[in-house]
Structure 1
Amino acid sequence: MSPRQTPEEGTSPDTGTPAVAAPTPGSVATPAIPDEVPPAPDVPSVAPIRRLLGRTSGEGDRRRLVIVAAVVMSLVLPAFAIVQPLIVADLLDRLEAREPYGRTLTMLGVVVAGELALAGVYFWTLKRLAEDVILDTRRAIITRVLRMPVDRLHAYRSGDLMTRLGSDTTMMQSVFTAGIFSIISSATLLVGSMVVLWFLDPLLMAILVGTVLAVGVLLVFLLAAVRRVSRAVQYEVGGMVSEFETSLKGLRTIRIFGASRRVSNRVARRARRAHRQGRRLAGVQAVVEPTVNTAMQAAVTVVLLMGGIRVSSGAISVGELVAFVLYALGVVVPMSDAARALTAVQVGLAAVDRTEEITTEPIELADLGIEEGAAPDPHSPVTDLTTAPAVELRHVDFAYPDGEAVLHGVDLVAPTGDRVAIVGPSGSGKSTLLSLIGGLYRADGGQVMVGGRDILDGPIEEVRDRLAIVEQDAPMLAGTIRENLLLAAPDADDATLCRVLNDVGLGAFASVEGLDREVGEGGAELSGGQRQRLAWARALARNCDILLLDEPTSALDAQTEWRLQNLLNSRRFRAITVLVVAHRLSTVVGSDSIVVLDQGRVVATGTHDSLVETCRLYREFAARQGLADSPKATSERSEEPEAGGGDGVDTQRDVTAGT
């Protein structure tokens, strides 16, 4: 440790800047979770329960039948508990009077056995219903997250999303197994017991009613606190998981910069915040159940004392007193169970709130203004790459949701089969153009055309079926080589996969064992060059018409780059239209057309030779990379840099969206 660094260094207040390393190029940087937990309702609300049951019952007739069966059993089960005290009282009176009691004892046994059997079926039904709801919610979250508009997805941290998918959905189980139906059952038993008690002894009944009302008023205030604090606990746990996941992804960078202690301190702070919220929740729960239990026990004690006095005076019999006490327990126990169930429901509803935040997000197609599954507009041109340019942008304007304008009136034409390169300073909007062509964002103005048809005039899937992409960071899914290749070409056979691997110089992976080789999380088992070549193989395995390349050779040596360029120019792939974004001009010098972007505007279009002669910005790029002899232009530009050029334009948007 250097003299300037102390063990506490980096443990700035939680509102400070995260002490984690910057994301690697091409990774998605997501905003830090704010310290303020989103507000929860101040009073208990049945609206989330109603929505949850509505969503659950909407899954089909079988699911509705299960819910109806659970409700019926919730109402029937208390009947066994209501009948039992009457049978017990009759049994005691018969024993005291020395009358035959065999039939009464048999009836009691049948009632107890029936209750046990029905309770088993009831519990199994609730567990199954809860697991079905958890599965449906997880599927909804998975589908929504994977189809959420890109700009909305950036508003969440991946660790927090995983917490919502995992622990939050699991906590929803309590809404069913220890919540809604338990409350129905407890309420039924409570009402039934109180009705019988009224007929047995109105005076003792009045004592219990007073206690029940007092406890009910107390629960209204306490349960709102339970839900509010539960939401805070789940929020902080999500933040902790997000911090930890971010740290794992940047572990090599963190260690090399000697930031392990600082980052671990930050993650530990999140853990301490979750711990503090957990203690708050424990404190609130510690007030709810003991308060209810103590009040109920006091009520039973008073009932016993008053009952004893009334027995001694001859007002009621011993059997009636025993029956009354059993029914009093039929009030006390349901109240305790209801308090416990309501607490569990509030904890579960906090989880429901968090999952609903995701499931109510818009899906990508709706955000693009396209109705899911929509047929092509009958008035729009048919996609035809033989008579229209493969890709055409007409006066395209675009700004990110945060207001940062990126593209201004961009015009671009990529004829079918041509190689079109897009070059320019960092932050000039190059990768954003590819994102617009892929339908990841919607242009604010102008048109993005594929095969002569605006991509918004029909199913976006029809456009994407024609596309393949190689990205700079070459993202890999955890799994095998085969699984990553089949992502782009699900119907490809092993022979095709082996051929494209050999094409990109990964012949060693072309054996059957190689196809089953695990790549690790994010391709961690592969080198950077192997990942990028595997991304090339994945794109080439797809029978695409348009290939989007975003810095496709950044991790490759010159020989491999030359090999891939020749591969694209071979007869097998020559019909593919290629749009390539590159800083290394050696990748694009042979392109049919090169588009130069600066500050989101097209400043020049032409071939390499013509641009060296006519475009000062391109000439400088070429000179710095040894592809043009223009020292004067280089000198002029170093003395008088153009707006938007140079190192100073490497904006945060480059990190978050790859512009």
Structure 2
Amino acid sequence: MKALLPFVRMLLAHRGWVFAGMLLSLLTLLAAIGLLTLSGWFISASALAGVSVLSARQFNYFTPGAGVRGFAIARTVGRYFERVTTHEATFRMLAELRSWFYRRLEVLGPARLQAFRSADLLNRLVADINALDNLYLRVLVPTLVALAVSILVVLFIARYSPAIALLTTVALLLAGVLLPMLAQYAGRRLGRLQLLLLSRLRVRLLALVQGQADLHIYGGVDTSIQEAQAVERQLQRTQLRMALISGLTTAVLTIIAGVAGVGALVLGTELVLSDVIAPAHLAMLLFCVLAVFEAVAPLPLAYQYLSKTITAAERLNEVSGASAGVCYPDADLEVPVIPGQIMLRDVCMRYTEHAPLALDQLSLSVAPGEHVLVLGHTGSGKSSLINLLARFYDPEAGAVELSGCPVRSYSETTLRAQMSVLSQPVQLFAGSVADNLSLALPDASPSELLEVLRRVCLDQVLGDNPLEYQIGESGSRLSGGQRKRLALARALLKPSPLLVLDEPTEGLDAVTEAAVIKGVLDSCQGRTVLMISHHLQMANHFDRIIVLDRGCVIEAGTPVELAERPDSRYNQLRAL
């Protein structure tokens, strides 16, 4: 239950809606019980009054008739506004929860989020948060309202018969306390399993949809479908068992209410025969006893699924409670003094505690406005260099400086303003070309957007109006090279002193690659460019080349200097 406490506190932020919903729920339930109770008395009293002409004339039909109509109207109107307020409170809480959860995800960064699958995170953001609507709508409000209504009704019945009040109290304890406890115990494991199976099924289905092309190529579609179907069958069996528990608790609740009604009828009959209460009061008490079970009727089902709600809360707390891999100061401790400068001194970095070093005593420097090409085979530490500069990870040892100051001294906003990064792989968003470009510079004019498309040779291949071209989900309507160039254009558009490019020409032919690199470098005069690549065709266009191997700089120099060394790694790479 401790897992639910943070979310209960979130409800207090909307306490106006929360308490209004509770009050309306209480009044609505009291109106429903009052309607049935008064109707029982009214019908019985009217029947008895009709025994003689005199009693019929003396009987007041109008007051109880108005009461019945008043209770009926109050129940109908109250039910409507109770639904409005309780659902408004729930939806407000769910909306706040999604924003809260996303903010927790954002601060974790890539270092921590790698421990979770994206489909699982999406399931937590959507399904697990939706499961928390059970907390307010089906647990807190019904429990508190049932307690208040039960006390009021028992006190009312006690005015006429303490024995019937005691019987009603025992029956309410059985139906409203013991039965929900048994339902929670019976559904504890199944509710948790149901949520986990639902998450597992969604992960498998998302993987099946996203990986259709490869699954078709390698003949794995049937196997993937069978695995998803196996999880679905297990989920269906779990849901069936939960439904059986729900049916059983409903039957037991009906039996308890029926026994309480029969007991109230027997005790009430004795009281009528003893002239302790009037005959019409017997029907009133009997209907009141039967009606009060409406207050506790939702509780067994709510507590049966409480374990599902608790599991959802635990899964959300697991992510939100994770410590951030990188912590940024709230305000800049230092301000950039040499925009575009990069300096790394004896940097060591590893991705997990026991993993091998990705960077080992790495030292390098890049001057402002310098265009540098970083070469190296896969696993040599090129992408790790980007992760350090973007501060997705912090080094284990050594110093990382950007624009003349340690990267640790910048707030996240200032750090992001210092660089524009083309990552690997690229991420595009469904919409138009202009929509994707505008992420880098929201107030860019159409002419600026067309110019940057021209720089990457993408202005002539997307039709007459390239800015309005719809690229599809994740750029599915673009080729691999076009996706890369669109992401490159977006990186170019961001006005930052440093441009970091990870394999920007991957998937391009030699002619297009040469044109794109020339367009990029021409547009970055006075701007620092750090480009990571396996390709050497355009190496001569860079001011300097740095070659990495096993996380270390093994050689650095101008293209001419390295080419003049017969045994240089640069020449070895050119010879491949």
TM-score normalised according to structure 2 size: 0.90
Does 1:184 find its partner at 2:144? Answer: yes
Q: How has the CA–CA distance of structure 1 residues 450 and 521 changed in structure 2, closer, same or farther, with 3 Å as cutoff?
A: same
RMSD value, Cα: 2.6
Assess if the C-alpha contact under 8 Å between 1:392 and 1:450 holds in 2. Answer: yes
> What is the 5 A alignment of 1:162-241?
162-215=122-175, 216-241=177-202
> What is the 5 A alignment of 1:238-249?
238-249=199-210
The one-letter code matched in structure 2 to 1:68 is F
The one-letter code matched in structure 2 to 1:52 is F
Report the Cα distance in structure 1 between the residues aligned to 2:80 and 2:179, rounded to whole angstroms. 33
Q: Which moved more, 1:204-213 or 1:514-523?
A: 204-213
1:69 maps to 20
The one-letter code matched in structure 2 to 1:100 is N
2:519 maps to 567
Report the Cα distance in structure 2 between the residues aligned to 1:118 and 1:177, rounded to whole angstroms. 16
2:533 maps to 582
Assess if the C-alpha contact under 8 Å between 1:419 and 1:593 holds in 2. Answer: yes
Does 1:384 find its partner at 2:356? Answer: no
TM-score normalised according to structure 1 size: 0.80
Kindly indicate which of the two structures has a greater share of residues assigned to helix: 2
> What is the 5 A alignment of 1:602-621?
602-612=553-563, 613=565, 617-621=569-573
The one-letter code matched in structure 1 to 2:457 is G
Secondary structure of the 1:149 match is helix
Assess if the C-alpha contact under 8 Å between 1:416 and 1:576 holds in 2. Answer: yes
Q: How has the CA–CA distance of structure 1 residues 104 and 273 changed in structure 2, closer, same or farther, with 3 Å as cutoff?
A: closer
Does 1:136 find its partner at 2:96? Answer: yes
> What is the 5 A alignment of 1:15-54?
45=1, 47-54=2-9
Report the Cα distance in structure 2 between the residues aligned to 1:85 and 1:218, rounded to whole angstroms. 25
Does 1:406 find its partner at 2:366? Answer: no
Assess if the C-alpha contact under 8 Å between 1:568 and 1:574 holds in 2. Answer: no
Number of residue pairs aligned between Structure 1 and Structure 2: 564
1:368 aligned to which of 306, 322, 326: 326
The one-letter code matched in structure 1 to 2:219 is G
Assess if the C-alpha contact under 8 Å between 2:180 and 2:304 holds in 1. Answer: no
The one-letter code matched in structure 1 to 2:486 is L
Report the Cα distance in structure 1 between the residues aligned to 2:185 and 2:273, rounded to whole angstroms. 45
1:261 maps to 222
The one-letter code matched in structure 2 to 1:155 is A
Which runs of 5 or more structure 2 residues have no equivalent in the other structure? 50-54
2:369 maps to 417
1:554 maps to 506
User: Cα offset for 1:332?
Assistant: 2.3
Assess if the C-alpha contact under 8 Å between 2:347 and 2:359 holds in 1. Answer: yes
Report the Cα distance in structure 1 between the residues aligned to 2:554 and 2:248, rounded to whole angstroms. 70
Q: How has the CA–CA distance of structure 1 residues 582 and 121 changed in structure 2, closer, same or farther, with 3 Å as cutoff?
A: same
1:273 maps to 234
Secondary structure of the 1:469 match is strand
Secondary structure of the 2:362 match is strand
CA deviation vs aligned residue, 1:187-242 (integer Å, no higher than 9, x gap): 22111112222232233333333333344234224314435422321221122211
Q: Which moved more, 1:136-145 or 1:186-195?
A: 136-145
Report the Cα distance in structure 2 between the residues aligned to 1:330 and 1:87, rounded to whole angstroms. 11
Report the Cα distance in structure 2 between the residues aligned to 1:108 and 1:547, rounded to whole angstroms. 76
> What is the 5 A alignment of 1:59-98?
63-81=14-32, 83-84=34-35, 87-88=38-39, 91=42, 92-93=44-45, 96-97=48-49, 98=55
Report the Cα distance in structure 2 between the residues aligned to 1:232 and 1:134, rounded to whole angstroms. 23
> What is the 5 A alignment of 1:417-456?
417-456=369-408
Assess if the C-alpha contact under 8 Å between 1:419 and 1:591 holds in 2. Answer: yes
The one-letter code matched in structure 2 to 1:177 is L
Which runs of 5 or more structure 1 residues have no equivalent in the other structure? 1-44, 625-659
Does 1:523 find its partner at 2:475? Answer: yes
CA deviation vs aligned residue, 1:365-417 (integer Å, no higher than 9, x gap): x532323xx2211xx4x31226xx61111211111135312111111101111
CA deviation vs aligned residue, 1:281-314 (integer Å, no higher than 9, x gap): 3233333332223222222233334434544454
Q: How has the CA–CA distance of structure 1 residues 102 and 568 changed in structure 2, closer, same or farther, with 3 Å as cutoff?
A: closer
CA deviation vs aligned residue, 1:54-107 (integer Å, no higher than 9, x gap): 21333xxxx332223223334434443565566446634465242223223223
The one-letter code matched in structure 1 to 2:197 is E
Report the Cα distance in structure 1 between the residues aligned to 2:140 and 2:215, rounded to whole angstroms. 47
> What is the 5 A alignment of 1:97-108?
97=49, 98=55, 99-108=59-68
Q: Which moved more, 1:547-556 or 1:136-145?
A: 136-145
2:52 maps to none
User: Cα offset for 1:266?
Assistant: 2.1
Report the Cα distance in structure 2 between the residues aligned to 1:289 and 1:399, rounded to whole angstroms. 57
Q: How has the CA–CA distance of structure 1 residues 521 and 302 changed in structure 2, closer, same or farther, with 3 Å as cutoff?
A: same
The one-letter code matched in structure 1 to 2:332 is P
